[in-house]
Amino acid sequence: MLILFVYDTQLFLFDENGYDVLANDDYSGIRRSYLSSFDREPEIYFPAISSWNNDPVSGGGLIFPSYLYD
């Protein structure tokens, strides 16, 4: 799986239960997002794309703490 965007985006990947799997913002110092392949069990995954600084939240706050993908 390769997802690459030209605009200043953030990418998030959730599993079929809604739990966070991967996130990326500003891949390799550029304002593009990138998620590469990963080694997990086969199941249904849901990608989410947002603009910069538009982070997913739950009742408990940020789903992906910003230090994980900044």
Count of structural domains, the chain: 1
On whether the CB atoms of residues 51 and 12 are closer than 8 A, the answer is no
45: domain range? 3-68
For residue 70, the model assigns a pLDDT of 47
**4-41 pLDDT, tens digit each:** 655 778 888 899 988 888 887 776 666 667 677 777 78
Would you list the DSSP string of 25-55? ESGGGSS--EE------S--EEEEEEETT--
